[in-house]
Amino acid sequence: MGARKTKKPILRLRAAAVFAAALAFVSPSLLHPGPAGATATVAGTVISNTATATFSDANSVGYASQSNTVSLTVWNAPALTNLNSTAQNVAPTDFVVTGPFTLTNTGNGTGYFALTQDAQFTGTVGASNVTLKGYVIVGGSTCTTGALCTEAQLNSALDSGSYATTAPNGTVQIEAEYQVASAPSVTSGTIVTTLTATVTYPATGAATQETSVASSAAETDTLAPDARLDLQKSVVAPASSSSNLVWTIKVNDGGGFPARDLTTVKTLLGASAAGIFITDKVPTFSGSALALVSAPSVSCYSGDTCTVYYSTNGTSWSATQNLSASYIGVFVYGDGPGSNVELPSAPSGSTGAGNVTTPQITITLTTVQPAGNLSANSNSVSNIANSVIGGNKDANLNVPVIGPTITVGTYDSSSPTLTGVFNNTTASSGTTPPGGASNIVYTQAYPIYSVLNGPYGVPGATGNYTGGTPVDNMHDFTEYGFLCSQTPTSTGTCSATGSIVIPMSIQNTGNIDDTFYPINDTGSVSGWTVNYYVATACSGGGSTFPTNCTQGAAITSSTPVSILSGATVNYEAVYTATAVSAFVPQTWQITVKGVSGSETNDTYDVLYPGGALKISKSVAATATNCPSVSSGTEPANGSTSGVCPGGVMTYTLSYQNLAPAGLAPSGAALGTEPAFATNAVLISSALLTEDGGASCSSGCTTYTNNWATNTFGLNAAPVDSNYGTYTTFTYFNGSAFAIGTYPGITAGYTKFTAALNATGTTNTGKVVAGQSGNITFTVTVR
């Protein structure tokens, strides 16, 4: 029983049973042997002394004499030595057996031992963190319960049987057991156990009264943390978009005791797998594990063997290489510094999770970079190695050493609680591990900056504002015509009524968040201003020009708009036009720039002052019906200045889409432009109203539209130069048009509306940019 150990009570019971069995074959005298070697003079011994002398007289006659006798009686002199062996390291929750404290009757009589009081606990850990469990006599009797004795029970045992007459030099060994609190108020320090005992000699012989003497001995134990696997994980950020990510996990037992194998590991890797298992979830991005580039490499602890395992689900493991695995693990086995010990205590090598200065094991795994939106954002990939499974210092207890909050048998986690750095402060208790998680590490893909800028909703449109074949997303465009506040003329100026709002979109197509701002790359244009704002809640888009956007914050180079990787933000260019040239389209190059990566992309806004459709009207007498005159000049056919009753006048209504034809591509030339981008100048729903009896409407200075008054009305259906004879008109009486010729008719329709149909398809009122045409109709003068 000389070896120090710690054990749980159940083990104590088992040991006690063994000792009890052995006791039957051991003589009590062997348990506390009698005098051996130098022995004190037994109490009651009478020491007598008489001196003698010889001498002679002058004649050399010899004589002798003798003194009186001096007698002294040796009395009871109880003496006790109390010794114990070396100190030991203890951990929270440990049941610690101190001693054995060896009590030796070093006096000169027989007597019995007794504790003067319970074992006293001092030291820096403090008595409040220690609980006395009891005592045993080493190799001797146990208490009636077969377990630890109380002080009273121990003293009773020491004062009975052969123990009661322990001879000089006889010894008794006593062990005291205490338990360290599961969560002591201090994590380290000393626990001093002091045991004070007496040896008592009964009154006997010359000794007329019982005498005793006390002696104390102390054992100083050191509270140390249990086995604790500290991990430090690190990763090197990629140096280029083609480089890989290299993850390193350093492992060290930073606790005060060796880390051992654990039964739980066997349930994962097989019954024969006695060792420590260090697992790591392969870092993921967007829910997918980054592919391993090669098998992880391991620098194993000297004397151990390390084997790499792979798993796709964390529960089934195989040593067969699988670079698509979601989990990797390193099984550490071997005797290491001792049987069933994989890693010795090396507290100088680490101080906790994320702080391993001298690793015992180093694991390196290489993965590809994450890819896609957000992948280059800082810390887009986070990872910890927190599933360390091993046994604590006591193989019998089979207490796992894994990361806090990690249940045995699980590996890594995306739990939101796994943030920050774990502190390995969780004490070992039962199945509660004492720690072992690593720090959390972050990295990201190499940044790729990219942006698209284009029409609303289609930032990557591939149109070509020049009308040419689209080749990229740098020439897309949005065309828009606007009305002037005054009646425009081809040579006049135009001022827009209010602002001209062109919604557009920016998409961050890089793999990293950035901020962006648009600029006008066209330069200053007289009469024009342009500013940019965040636009939200727009209506329309697609085939309908987006309108009614909610204007947000201004976007400038100093106040760029933040756009997440892959996200799109709508913005609007707000133009003002004051005294600009009417009917002169203005093309704006709008360049969006990224702040961090200086990425750019262009789009174009083409604005048409004065509206897109220009109309004009003319009339000529196709048949003047004037009689011949003898003198002067009578109107001839084709006259634009005169006509006679019965003459036929032909009115021509000319229309023109002022947008240059090249800015309204169609078909393949349209690219991926949204419909509204060209519909802005593809005149749609253009209704021409010809009202022969109308008064001047707004903007007119005079009105002379009285042809209906002096004619019989329309002679026939109007004819569109692009479409031909209209078959569908809207006449204001809603009836079919009666076609006739003077004087066969007495009256015809005097007004109509016709949807311009320059596209030549159906009567949808569309006129493509740059296209012109006219509508003609004839009337007969009354």
Partner 1 sequence: MLRVKSAAFLTIALLASLVSVAQAKPVVALKLSAQMIQHQANGAEHFVPIDTAALKPGDEIRYVIVATNTGTNAAKNLVPVGRIPAGTAYVAGSASSPTANPEFSLDGGKTWAAMPTVKVHTRSGDVVQKADPATYTTIRWHESAALEPKASQTFVYAVTIK
Segment near partner 1 (CB under 8 A); pick from 76-84, 409-417, 443-451, 745-753? 76-84
Query: Vertex 453, ends 448 and 458: CA angle to 5°?
Result: 110
Candidate residues 3, 21, 24, 57; the one interacting with partner 1 per rule CB under 8 A: 57
CB of 77 to partner 1, least distance (A): 3
Nearer to partner 1, 54 or 633 (CB): 54
Q: CA 354 to CA 367: how far, in whole Å? A: 21
Token digits for 558? Answer: 């100093």
DSSP β-bridge partners for residue 329? 279, 309
Segment near partner 1 (CB under 8 A); pick from 36-44, 314-322, 415-423, 479-487? 36-44
- For residue 100, whether the previous peptide bond is cis, meaning omega lies within 30 degrees of 0, is yes
Segment near partner 1 (CB under 8 A); pick from 50-58, 117-125, 407-415, 490-498? 50-58
Nearer to partner 1, 74 or 717 (CB): 74
Token digits for 485? Answer: 């506040």
Q: Does 203 bind partner 1 (CB under 8 A)?
A: no
- Other Cβ atoms within 10 Å of 736 Cβ, number: 8
- Other Cβ atoms within 10 Å of 709 Cβ, number: 10
Written as one letter, the residue type at 150 is: T
Q: Tell me the per-residue interface mask from 84 to 123 with partner 1, x by CB under 8 A, - otherwise.
A: -----------------------xx---------------
Q: Does 45 bind partner 1 (CB under 8 A)?
A: yes
Nearer to partner 1, 108 or 520 (CB): 108
* Segment 331 to 390, residues that bind partner 1, using CB under 8 A: none
Can you point out the beta strands (E) in 578-725?
580-581, 586-594, 600-609, 613-623, 648-657, 687-691, 711-714, 719-720, 724-725
Segment near partner 1 (CB under 8 A); pick from 73-81, 91-99, 313-321, 537-545? 73-81
CB of 166 to partner 1, least distance (A): 17
Q: Does 72 bind partner 1 (CB under 8 A)?
A: yes
Q: Does 526 bind partner 1 (CB under 8 A)?
A: no
Can you point out the beta strands (E) in 658-728?
687-691, 711-714, 719-720, 724-725
Torsion on CA atoms 10, 12, 13, 17, rounded to nearest 10: 140
Cβ partners under 8 Å of residue 242, min gap 6: none
Query: Vertex 307, ends 303 and 311: CA angle to 5°?
Result: 155
Written as one letter, the residue type at 559 is: T
Segment near partner 1 (CB under 8 A); pick from 72-80, 137-145, 703-711, 716-724? 72-80
Is 455 within 8 Å of 504 (Cβ atoms)?
yes
Candidate residues 27, 48, 86, 702; the one interacting with partner 1 per rule CB under 8 A: 48
CB of 210 to partner 1, least distance (A): 14
Q: Does 302 bind partner 1 (CB under 8 A)?
A: no
Q: Does 37 bind partner 1 (CB under 8 A)?
A: no
Nearer to partner 1, 13 or 79 (CB): 79
Q: CA 191 to CA 220: how far, in whole Å? A: 6
Quickly count helices (H) and strands (E) in the chain: 6, 51
Nearer to partner 1, 25 or 63 (CB): 63
Segment near partner 1 (CB under 8 A); pick from 32-40, 257-265, 490-498, 568-576? 32-40
Q: Does 38 bind partner 1 (CB under 8 A)?
A: yes
CB of 37 to partner 1, least distance (A): 12
Strand order in the sheet with 730-731: 687-691, 751-755, 730-731
Cβ partners under 8 Å of residue 41, min gap 6: 47, 74, 108
**Closest C-alpha among 250, 285, 268, 205 to residue 445:** 285
Q: Does 624 bind partner 1 (CB under 8 A)?
A: no
Candidate residues 10, 18, 36, 47; the one interacting with partner 1 per rule CB under 8 A: 47
Segment near partner 1 (CB under 8 A); pick from 64-72, 421-429, 480-488, 663-671? 64-72
CB of 170 to partner 1, least distance (A): 16
Candidate residues 27, 66, 630, 733; the one interacting with partner 1 per rule CB under 8 A: 66
Nearer to partner 1, 15 or 79 (CB): 79
Candidate residues 3, 25, 56, 287; the one interacting with partner 1 per rule CB under 8 A: 56
Token digits for 357? Answer: 């200065």
Written as one letter, the residue type at 761 is: T
* Segment 562 to 591, residues that bind partner 1, using CB under 8 A: none
Contacts with partner 1 by CB under 8 A: the residue count is 36
Q: Does 50 bind partner 1 (CB under 8 A)?
A: yes
Candidate residues 51, 183, 738, 747; the one interacting with partner 1 per rule CB under 8 A: 51
Q: Does 49 bind partner 1 (CB under 8 A)?
A: yes
Q: Does 55 bind partner 1 (CB under 8 A)?
A: yes
Candidate residues 12, 19, 32, 76; the one interacting with partner 1 per rule CB under 8 A: 76
Nearer to partner 1, 21 or 64 (CB): 64
**Closest C-alpha among 467, 466, 473, 454 to residue 669:** 467
| Interstrand relation of 89-90 and 211-223 (parallel, antiparallel or unpaired) | parallel
On the 0-12 / 13-18 / 19+ scale of CB atoms within 10 A, 761 is exposed
CB of 62 to partner 1, least distance (A): 8
Segment near partner 1 (CB under 8 A); pick from 37-45, 248-256, 567-575, 676-684? 37-45
Is 237 within 8 Å of 247 (Cβ atoms)?
no
Q: Which backbone phi and psi does 583 adopt, to 5 degrees?
A: 60, 15
CB of 79 to partner 1, least distance (A): 8
Cβ partners under 8 Å of residue 72, min gap 6: 46, 47, 48, 49
Q: CA 39 to CA 148: how far, in whole Å? A: 34
**Which residues sit at the interface with partner 1, rule CB under 8 A?**
38-41, 45, 47-58, 60-61, 63, 65-70, 72-77, 79, 107-108, 208
